Chains A and B, each alone.
Chain A
Amino acid sequence: MSWAGALFGVAAVIALIGAVGAVGLRSAFHNVLGFAVAMLGVAGVFLSVGHDFLAIVFVLICGGALPVVMVHAVLLNRPAGEAPRPRGRAATLGAAAVAAAGAVAAWLVVSGAPWPPAGGRREVEAAWAGYRFLTDYVLAFELVSVLIAVAMIGAVTVARRRRPKSEG
C-alpha cells in the first residue's frame, strides 16, 4: 500500500470517529470537539488524494469557525455537576428522520450529478476558486454567512439568562 493510500485510510477513519462523536456524545462541548476531529479527517482525505489547496482552505475555514462554535458550546453547555438530561423518544426519532432524509437527499444528488470522467489529478488554483466563489457560487457563499449570523443570534438568545420579572 502506498503512503497516500495509508493516509487516506487513516484520515477516513478519523473523520468517521469524529462524526460519531459529534452526534453521539452527551456534552455540547464534546460534540464540537468531535466535529473538529471529523473536519480534520476530511481535510486529511483531501490531502491524501492530492488536493492540497482544498485541504488547506478546509482547514482555514474550520480553523476560523470552530473557536466561535466552541465558545457557543461553552455558553450552551449545562452547568458543571449537573447530570445530562435524558433524551426524549420523540426528539430522537425526529432527529433520525431528519438525518435519514438528509442522507437520501445527499445520495440523490451524488448519484445524479454529472461527474467528470477520471482524468487524473486536477490542480485547483486559488484564483480559479476565488473567481467561482464570487460568480457561480456567490449565493451559496453569502447564504453561509447569513447562516452563521443566525446561529450566533440563536446561541445568544438561548444562552441569555432569563431574569425573574420581580428583578425588573
Chain B
Amino acid sequence: MLSGLRDLLAGPIGQFPATLVLGAVCILGCLSLNTLFLAWLERVVSVRIQRRLGPVEVKPQGALQTAADVTMLLGRRLLTPVAADRHVYLAAPVLVFAPTLCVASLIPLSGAEAFADVPYGLLMVGALPCFTALAIIMAGWSSGEGRAVLGAMRSVAQVIACGMPVLLSVLSVVLISQTMNLRRIVEAQQHTAWYVVYQPVAAALYVIGIAAVASRAPFGIPEAGSVPIGDVRAERAGMRLAMFRFAEHTNMLVLGALGATLFLGGWMGPFLPGPVWLLLKAYAIVFLMMWTRWTCRRLRFGRLMRLAWGYLAPAALVNLVATAAFVSVLG
C-alpha cells in the first residue's frame, strides 16, 4: 500500500521527495494517534491494577478524559522562565522527539515496506537514543533552574547506565543473525524460532533496559514526585509539556516495536497483515511496561545505578560472550 502511494506521489514531485513526504506524514500521524491511545490505555491499566475508580467526570464513563487533557494542554498559556536560555529552551522539546522519529522510520513494517531500509539500521538505532540524552541535558540546562539541571543529570546517567545492557543484548541478536539490517533480522527468524527462544536472557535484559531508558517506573526516578527534584519538565506547561509526553509515549511504542523486530519475529504472523502483527507485538511489550509501572515500587537512584552497572551490564556482557562462543563453535 505504501509503495503504491509513493509511486503515485513520485510522478509529480520525484521519488526522493515523495518518500520523504509520505514517510513524515504517515509516521507523524500514526505516532499522534498512538499517543492518544497510550494515554487512554495507561489510565485503564492503572485503574484496573490498582482497583481505583479513575476519572469519571468526562462522560461517557471518563472515556473522553484523554481528549479533555489534550484540550487543556493546548489551551494553556505558554510561559518562558526569565532565566531561561530562550532558543535552546524552545528547541529542546522538538529535539527530544526527533531521534525517536528517526528510529521509527527505520523499523520495517513488512517484508516489502519500510520507510528507510538502511544496511546498518541497527547501528543507527543504537546511536540515536544518545541524542535524546543530549536533548534532555539541553532541556534541563536551558530552563535556568537548578532542579531541572539535576533532573537532567539524573536522566542522562540513567539513559547511559541502562542503555548499555540494551545495546549489549541487541549485539547478541546481531551475532546470531549475522546482520545489522533490521529487515534481514526478521527474515532470519522466518527460518528458525523467534530469537526470544534462543536469547531469553537478552530479551529480558532488553525489556528491563528499555523501561529504564524510557524512564518508566520502577525506574521513573527523574520524575519522582516524592523527592524535591522533578525532571526537565519542571518549568514547562501547555504544548511544551505535551511535546515531552508525546516523546515519552512515542519512545515506548518505538522501543516496543524494536523489541518485537529483534526478538518476536517482527511483522511475521498468520492471517493479519504484517504491520498489524508488528503493532500487536509492540503493544504487548508496552503493556508489559505499563503492568510493571503500576505494580512495582520505584527504586532509589543509587539502587538503580547498582542494578544497571552491577548486574544488568555484566549479565548482558556474559550473555554476549556466551553467544559469541556458541556461534563460533557451531559456525
Contacts and interface: CB of A to CB of B under 8 A. Distances in A.
Contacts of B85: 29
B232 interface: no
Interface in B158-179: 159-160
A33 B118 CA distance: 27
Interface in A56-99: 56-57, 59-60, 63-64, 66-68, 70-71, 74, 80-81
A81 B129 CA distance: 32
Contacts of B134: 36, 63, 66-67, 70
Interface of A: 3, 29, 33, 36, 52-53, 56-57, 59-60, 63-64, 66-68, 70-71, 74, 80-81, 126
B137 A67 contact: yes
Contacts of B144: 80
B141 interface: yes
Contact of B118 (A3, A52, A64): A52
19 contacts: A29-B141, A33-B88, A52-B120, A56-B123, A56-B124, A57-B123, A59-B124, A60-B124, A60-B126, A60-B127, A60-B130, A63-B129, A63-B130, A63-B134, A66-B131, A67-B134, A67-B159, A74-B149, A126-B123
A63 B128 contact: yes
B83 interface: yes
B160 A67 contact: yes
B123 A71 contact: no
B130 A53 contact: no
Given A70-B134, A80-B144, A126 B149 contact: no
- In this complex, the member of A52, A57, A71 whose beta carbon has the largest number of chain B beta carbons within 10 angstroms is A71
A124 to B, nearest CB: 10
B-side interface size class? 20 to 34
B156 interface: yes
Contact of B120 (A71, A74, A126): A126
Interface string B226-238: 0000000000000
Contact of B123 (A60, A66, A68, A70): A60
A36 to B, nearest CB: 7
Nearest to A27: B85
A69 B123 CA distance: 21
Contacts of A126: 120, 123, 180
A50 B74 CA distance: 42
A37 to B, nearest CB: 11
B74 to A, nearest CB: 29
B221 interface: no
Contacts of A33: 88, 138
Given A29-B141, A70-B134, A126-B180, A3 B16 contact: yes
